[in-house]
Amino acid sequence: MRGAKSNTRQGTGQGFVAGGNETAQALWYVGPGRAEIREDRLPPLAPGAVRVRALHGAVSRGTEALVAAGRVPESEYQRMRAPCMGGAFPFPVKYGYATVGRVEAGPADLQGRTVFTLHPHQTLFDMPADAVVPLPDGVPAERAILSANMETALNATWDAGPGPYTRIAIVGAGVVGALVGLLYGRMEVPDVTLVDIDASRLELAQKFWLRFATPDTARGDCDLVVHTSASAGGLKTALDLAGDEATVLELSWYGAGDVAVPLGGAFHSRRLKLISSQVGKVAPSHRSTYSHRQRLETAIGLLTDARVDALIAPAIAFKDLPKRLPKILAPGSGILCQRIDYP
C-alpha cells in the first residue's frame, strides 16, 4: 500500500506535514533467513527535515547477509548500527543504507529533488535535510544506488595511500572490489587485476577495462593488494600476491566469524603490512579536508561513469523482497548489486 499524498503548506521556505497520518512500508529482518514488510506510521514532519519517497534502493549483499543470518557479533551491536536503523540486533531489525528517492516535503530548495541518502529499505521516510545529497547531472537515479559502495571504495584508496603503484591486485570481484579496481584504473595505474575464483567475472573485468585472473594465474609481486572476498582463502591469496614491503588492505567484514590469518611463511621476511579500511570514518589522510558529506558527494560524482551499470542486477519490486532475499543473499547467487524498485 502506498502512503497518502503529502499535505504541505508553505511558510518561510520550510514545508510541514499537517497531521502525521501518512503510512510507509519497511523491510524488517525478523529471524535467521526471514524478513517481512511492516507498516510504519510517520509523525508530522519536523522542522529541518525532509520527507522522501523512495524510488530505488540496493541490497548490500555482504553486510545484509550477515545481518539476515544474525551473525553481527554482540561486541559490534552499536558500531554496526546503520543510520536510521530500526529495532536492535540481532532481531527484529530494520537495516539497509542505499536509497534514492524524491523529496516531497521540506525546505523549498530540496522539494522535488532526487537525492541519495543512507536509509533502510522503506517506501516513505523522514531524514534531516543535511543528510540527503541531491544527485548531480549525469548520475541517473537508478545508478546512484551504488553511492555507498563507491564511498567505501573511495575511502579504501585513501586508506591505502598515494603510492606510486605499478601493480595492484584486488582479490574478490564483488561490487566494492570492482569499484576499487575502477578507481585505480582511472588513476592510470599500469597493471590493475581483479582476482576471483569465479572465472565468469572475466566479463566484468573487461567491462571495467581491467585485467582478470584466478588465484592460480594471478601475478605476484604486487605493490598493493586489496582484499574484499571475506574468506580465509581470499586473504591467503592476497598475502601470497603481495611483493616485498607491500600493503595488503583488508576491506572484508567477517561478522561473528573467525578467520585464520596465515602470517607464517614469508610474511615477516617480506615485511608486509596488513591494514584495515572501514568507511565509518574518513581516512586519516583526508580527514582534515573532507567531511563525511563531502566524501559522499565526491563518491556520487564518480558515478557519472556508465561502466558501473554492469554491477547492477535487474530490478525487483520492493513488495517481493521478503521472498526473494534468500536467493539474493545466498553464496554463489551471482548477484552483485540487487536493485530495488519502489511503487
Q: Is 169 found in the same domain as 59?
A: no
Q: Is 79 found in the same domain as 128?
A: yes
pLDDT tens sequence across 145-193: 999 999 999 999 999 998 999 999 999 999 999 999 999 999 999 999 9
Q: Is 262 found in the same domain as 335?
A: no
Using the 3D structure, point to which of 231, 250, 282 is the last residue of a domain: 282
Whichever domain contains 175, its CATH number is 3.40.50.720
Whichever domain contains 56, its CATH number is 3.90.180.10
pLDDT tens sequence across 282-322: 999 999 999 999 999 999 999 999 999 999 999 999 999 99
In the prediction, which pLDDT does 82 show? 85
Q: Is 129 found in the same domain as 14?
A: yes
pLDDT tens sequence across 255-285: 767 888 889 888 999 999 999 999 999 999 9
Q: Read off the pLDDT band of 254 (50, 70, 90).
A: confident
In the prediction, which pLDDT does 266 show? 87
Domains in the chain, number: 2
Q: Is 324 found in the same domain as 276?
A: no
Q: Considering the domain boundaries, does residue 143 fall inside one?
A: no
Q: Which domain holds residue 317?
A: 8-134+305-341
Q: Is 124 found in the same domain as 175?
A: no
pLDDT tens sequence across 62-121: 899 999 999 999 999 998 898 899 999 999 999 999 999 999 999 999 999 999 999 999
Q: Are 157 and 298 in contact (CB under 8 A)?
A: no
Q: Is 108 found in the same domain as 40?
A: yes
Q: Considering the domain boundaries, does residue 146 fall inside one?
A: no
Q: Considering the domain boundaries, does residue 90 fall inside one?
A: yes
Q: Considering the domain boundaries, does residue 319 fall inside one?
A: yes
The share of the chain scoring above pLDDT 90, in percent, equals 86
Distance CA 101, CA 106 (A): 14
Q: Is 204 found in the same domain as 169?
A: yes
Q: Is 123 found in the same domain as 48?
A: yes
Q: Considering the domain boundaries, does residue 23 fall inside one?
A: yes
Output phi, psi for 306, to 5 deg.
-70, -10
Q: Is 264 found in the same domain as 168?
A: yes
Q: Is 319 found in the same domain as 208?
A: no
Q: Is 275 found in the same domain as 183?
A: yes
Q: Considering the domain boundaries, does residue 288 fall inside one?
A: no
31 has pLDDT over 70: yes
Q: Considering the domain boundaries, does residue 140 fall inside one?
A: no
Q: Considering the domain boundaries, does residue 141 fall inside one?
A: no
